[in-house]
Chain A
Amino acid sequence: MTESTENTLLKTPLNDLHVSLGGRMVEFAGYSMPVQYPSGIVTEHNHTREKAGLYDVSHMGQAWLKGENHEHVSSELEKLVPGDIAALAPGRTRYTQFTNQDGGILDDLMVTRLASSSEDGILYLVVNASRKTEDYQLMSDNLDSSIKLEKIEDRALLALQGPSSEKVVAGLCDGIEETAFMSSQTMMIGGIECWVSRSGYTGEDGFEISVKADEATALAEKLLAHEDVMACGLGARDSLRLEAGLCLYENDIDETTSPIEAGLIWSISKRRRAEGGFPGAARVQSEIANGVSRKRVGIKPDGRAPARAGTEITGVDGAVIGTLTSGGFGPSIEGPISMGYVPTEYSEAGTKLNLLVRGKALPATVTALPFIPNNFKR
């Protein structure tokens, strides 16, 4: 990273903490972010699976979407996403996607309905850093003028992930044990007001915690003070989500891939499948009825060599059938893992393929996702 680009990068409220902890800072979506700390990606990854890792995800976009009541705001947002926002209960969080007219994916996001009845009609959105400008524009252009979109720019977002997360937070606040997976509430953690959602991007139990920017470092330090918590960077976040079979926008899903091809049909309720009413519904409904011609699958190289995003996938006959969208090494798998799109006839687990790595055809096997079982709070 040259000094000139370093100066133009955005910094999160935790930037000084990253630097003081020895974080290796890299550019990501216009932000200076830690890819790892001195302990290294493999150690950070394994620590998150075994205990807990603390991640700065403040680069992601946080926003309010405000309508007159839940019915109003949910029916408006449903014009842009296939998720069932109307059925979202107070204090619950749901994963969905912004789709385009062709049924491709413009971004994926988390939508939370605020818990208290006094806040009825308010949704809290978390969108990808690399897409937030486009997402906000999309909503401004397409939602009724009675809906107010408010970007939240004075808050940081931290993710505490891993099996010790509940224990760590319980030491700093009351009632965390009772919170359910994909639920959200306002809580005091170590005396700091936080919006806490029991969710994450690692396949582990954990919390995403929104906190005022000027209190973010104090909160991070309180969490890091627990012996089970290690500061972790974007490198470990990426290897954890890949093992968990989760999509990274622009790699595994983009404007050409539909939610059905991407294996995200679980995020579309029966009502939305039947009613449609979101951009590209015709393609999505047709794919549900008639099947898809290609699917996102897990692919495990049989040998030790990792195959990275962009690697060509061939059948055993040598014909190119697709491209890897993510690929690397899974520290918990202790081997290489990848994901990509293949024609449906190649998508059955156990199907043999080849991956063209540096000119060599390396044998690989289609593998069910996730690569490791999820460890969510039941």
Chain B
Amino acid sequence: MSVKYTEDHEWVSIDGDVATFGITDHAQEQLGELVFVELPDVGSQVEKGGEAAVVESVKAASDVYAPVSGEVTETNEALSSEPTKVNEEPETGGWLVKIKMSDQSELDGMLDADAYSKLIG
């Protein structure tokens, strides 16, 4: 299992052909306390770079883009009643979506933890 990061401030944890993703600690800090999380339907197809979820703070709604293409196999149901889990545990319990990847080469070029830390300075 390895964790990669995107320039859109998402983390992606890879286990075989399943990618679990969420937003980074830096991203949740920028957004502020979340009040609502909208997740895709299980079984739906997502495209890398396409809208996969929406996270909303008091002030604004922000799109979360799919870091990889594939089929949504599971979403984090707990977030519907407890959206602040994303703020409290962004890179563990606050995960958003699991995707069965259709093209693992999409992982090439993602950032490792060091490169991501440099990106956010």
Chain A interfacial positions (CB closer than 8 Å to B): 35-36, 40-43, 45, 235, 238-239, 304-306, 308, 328-329, 331, 336, 358
Contacts and interface: CB of A to CB of B under 8 A. Distances in A.
B61 A36 contact: no
Contacts of A358: 38, 54
Interface residues of B, number: 13
Contacts of A43: 33
Contacts of B3: none
A305 B33 contact: no
Nearest to A242: B58
Contacts of A35: 59
A138 B71 CA distance: 59
Contacts of B35: 42, 306, 329, 331, 336
B55 to A, nearest CB: 11
Nearest to A235: B59
Nearest to A236: B58
A45 B56 CA distance: 17
Nearest to A335: B35
A156 to B, nearest CB: 25
A306 B56 contact: yes
B93 interface: no
B32 A329 contact: no
Contacts, number: 44
Contacts of B60: 308
Given A41-B33, A329-B35, A329-B56, 6 more contacts: A36-B32, A41-B57, A42-B33, A43-B33, A235-B58, A329-B36
A331 B58 contact: yes
Interface in B43-77: 54, 56-61
Contacts of A304: 36, 80
A239 B35 CA distance: 13
13 contacts: A35-B59, A36-B32, A41-B57, A42-B33, A43-B33, A235-B32, A306-B56, A306-B61, A328-B59, A329-B35, A329-B56, A336-B35, A336-B36
Contacts of A238: 59
Nearest to A329: B35
A306 B36 contact: yes
A328 B33 CA distance: 13
Interface string B22-49: 0000000000110110100000000000
A33 to B, nearest CB: 13
A43 B58 CA distance: 11
A333 to B, nearest CB: 11
A362 to B, nearest CB: 11
